[in-house]
Structure 1
Amino acid sequence: MNNNLPIVLAFVAGTALAWWVEGLRWNADVSILKESHTAELKKQSDHAVIDLTNQQKRTEAAQAALTALDAKHTKEIADEQAKNEKLRADVAASTRRVQIAAANLASCQRVGDSTSGTGSLGDAVQIDLTPAGGSVVLSLRESTSRDDQVIQYLQGYAAEAQKRCKIQ
């Protein structure tokens, strides 16, 4: 048994040395993988921050554009309402009258003197409305104008939103 002791000790020492060297290699491999993994995570994190910043800028620009669009159309609606209120007040005070030119809707021709020359509007028949009738006409004008403004606003909003929401 004493003859085998140096062989056993050499085997144990060799195994321990191989175990230690393999441990060093394993630690080096794990360290390299950790570094590459950390670098990849940092790269992804930096890319996410850049994307988030760009998206925030696009969102702020879209919000600013929509706010400007909203302000523009709100002002146009307010101006149109003020104009209509002025007309309504003038009709109520009898400083203005609402007149409607009669037209033959079947032929899309104005009714009037048929002997007038071509290119002339002729003497079209005018219908004067009472202040109450004029107010009704102005209410219809206001409603039509407001609907037109709202439609323009919504179309502009949709176009701006579509333009801003495209993925770049």
Structure 2
Amino acid sequence: MNNNLPIVLAFVAGVALTWWVEGLRWDADVSKLNESHTAALKKQSEQAVIDLTNQQKRTEAVQAVLAALDAKHTKEMADEQAKNDRLRDDVAAGTRRVRIAAANLATCELTGNSTAGTGGLGDAAQVELSGAGGRAVLDLRASAIKDDKVIQYLQAYISKIVEKN
């Protein structure tokens, strides 16, 4: 057995040396993989920051456009409301009256026998409303104007949102 001791020691030393060399190689491979993984993550992170910044700029641009649109339509609604309030005050004060033009509409028979020409109301008569009736008409006018402005605002809002996306 003493004769085999140097061989066993040489074998154990060879295994230990091989183990140590493989460990160094393994550590080098792991280190390279770590570096490449870290570089890839950094690149993705930088791209994410760029994308986020660009999206934030687009969002701010859309918000600015929508704020301007909101201001425009709010001013238009306020102007129309003020105009309607002036008309209502004039009717209440008696300086203005609300008149509605009434016309007899053409019947189918008259329309079929008519020749091409300029259109008109024909024998139009005017109906004058009382103060309360005039105010009611102006209230209806204000409501119709407000609804129209809201619809215009919403259509423009949707158009801007779709346009920016």
TM-score interval, normalised by the smaller of the two chains: 0.7 to 0.9
> Structure 1: any 5+ residue segments left out of the alignment?
109-116
User: How does the TM-score come out when normalised to structure 2?
Assistant: 0.86
**1:59 maps onto 2:51 in alignment:** no
Aligned positions of 1:16-165 closer than 5 A: 16-105=16-105, 107=107, 118-119=118-119, 121-164=121-164
* CA-to-aligned-CA distance 1:5-32 (integer Å, 9 cap, x gap): 2211221121111111101100000000
Aligned to 1:4: 4
CA drift at 1:4:
1.5
Quickly say closer, same or farther: Cα 1:52–1:120, change in 2 above 3 A: closer
> Structure 2: any 5+ residue segments left out of the alignment?
109-116
- Counterpart of 1:132 in structure 2: which amino acid? A
Question: What number of residue pairs does the alignment pair up?
Answer: 157
C-alpha separation between the residues in 1 aligned to 2:49 and 2:119? Answer: 69
Larger RCO: 1 or 2 (CA < 8 Å, sep 6+): 2
User: Secondary structure at 2:19's aligned position in 1?
Assistant: helix
- Report the identity percentage: 74
The answer to whether the 8 Å contact 2:104/2:123 transfers is no
Q: CA RMSD in A?
A: 2.0
- Counterpart of 1:102 in structure 2: which amino acid? A
C-alpha separation between the residues in 2 aligned to 1:80 and 1:118? Answer: 33
Aligned to 1:111: none
CA drift at 1:62:
1.7
**Greater helix share, structure number:** 2
* CA-to-aligned-CA distance 1:45-69 (integer Å, 9 cap, x gap): 1111111111211221121121111
* CA-to-aligned-CA distance 1:89-132 (integer Å, 9 cap, x gap): 11222222211110235649xxxxxxxx9555555211112222
